[in-house]
Amino acid sequence: MKFGKRIACLVALCFFVATSIGAADAAQVVSADSTDWGRPTTGVLRALIVNIGTPSLPARPRNEFTSSVATAAQQINQLSRGLTTVQTEYFARDILLNDVANLCDAEFDSWQAAVSKQVDISPYRFVTLIIPLPGDEEDQCEWDGISDMPGKFSYDFSPPSDQDSNFPNMTVAHEWGHGMTLEHMSQIICKKNGTAVSFVSRAERDKSCEKIDYSTFSFMGSESELRIMAGERSQLGWLRAGEEQEVTEGTFTLGADGPLSLLWLKNSEGDRFQIEFVKALNPNYPKQFFDIVSDDFVKVTNGWTNDGVIIKFMADYEKDASFPNGYIAHPYVIDTTPVTEIVTDSALKAGKSFVDPTGTFQIDVLEVTGA
């Protein structure tokens, strides 16, 4: 399976109560799409960077992307908190491939085969092909990178990294994330009887909820600052011992960097949810930002983002010991403030609550503190 992509921790504490109201059934299950399973995700991972050209599109000058690739390796090391080191290597020469009618719809499987004939890819965890940029602006693709999920190959236009340091380019690291089993960090927006609500039960979900491919709060979404959710670290095996728990009820203290970072809950319909603390988004945003729900630029106001508790609906959950941490799932951030036009304020503040529509559990945020 291939996924397209578009671009755009301080220790802190959150105290909240999860109250169990009922029992839970089995989780939803889907089939895996690859026998690669996304491993390994820790230790030293070798990445081969291959510069591609075609008869009509010359290969990119290497000084255009070497900095971006080096930055991506640093980003993975930082996001994994040192558990993963990506060792980047460059194929000695550019590889010339056949022209395609439309670069944006290229048959990447044939490109894989052509590269594999010239390069022994077996020692590498990642093989990143740097794609030549189309000459005309109108021919630019709607994506910056595509990757196998899970898998080894990714394809990047990889823009130069001479950007505002507050908003680093994360195309290469994002595609490596797909290769290690991560889906996009997405958003779910629901309605009931025509009125926006945070979430609905499974019986109504397909007809009343919109799944939006990109949410914020993660390098795997639309976020333009380097951050990762604890749930993503969980899936990649990047959490420390004791940093996540599956619970039914109790009072818990969550930290952005442990010692407890992630809670799992399950409702009576078998739906799984992740609960975690997040810091407010980048305070260096300009006066407006592009919001994925309103599909428009929104003016930054005092309430546009905050520290708090994020709740994610974990769709397509599949448990298998072959995956890096024994499961895969697609995370959807729940909009806990459906009356606002933005999703960047989805983190629950102190004194706020979320009630599962099945009546299985209620989450009450007692206190939010931070440095």
Which among 252, 312, 306 has a CA at the least distance from the CA of 279? 306
261: enclosing H helix or E strand = none
Find the mean pLDDT for residues 309-334.
94
Q: Report which of residues 302 and 10 the model is more confident about.
A: 302
Q: Is 202 exposed, middle or buried (0-12, 13-18, 19+ CB in 10 A)?
A: middle
Q: What is the mean pLDDT of the chain?
A: 81
Domain range annotation of the chain: 9-34+183-370, 43-179
* String of DSSP letters for 26-95: PPP----S-SSTT---SEEEEEEEEEEE-SSSPPPPGGGTHHHHHHHHHHHHHHTTTSEEEEEEE-SS-E
**How sure is the predictor about 31, in pLDDT bands with cuts at 50, 70 and 90?**
very low
Residue 338's pLDDT is: 86
Which of 24-38, 124-138, 149-163 is the least confident region? 24-38
Find the mean pLDDT for residues 106-127.
88
**How sure is the predictor about 11, in pLDDT bands with cuts at 50, 70 and 90?**
very low
pLDDT digits (tens, 9 = 90+) for 153-174: 998 876 554 444 445 578 899 9
In Å, the largest CA–CA distance within the chain is 64
Residue 117's pLDDT is: 92
pLDDT digits (tens, 9 = 90+) for 254-276: 999 999 999 999 999 999 999 99
How many residues does the structure list for the chain?
371
Residue 168's pLDDT is: 58
Task: Say yes or no to pLDDT of 5 above 80.
Answer: no
Query: Which CATH number describes the domain made up of 43-179?
Result: 3.40.390.10
**How sure is the predictor about 14, in pLDDT bands with cuts at 50, 70 and 90?**
very low
pLDDT digits (tens, 9 = 90+) for 194-224: 888 899 988 788 788 888 888 888 999 876 6
Task: Say yes or no to pLDDT of 20 above 50.
Answer: no
Contacts with 299 (C-beta within 8 Å, 6 or more apart), sequence order: 287, 288
Token couple for 339: 């009356």
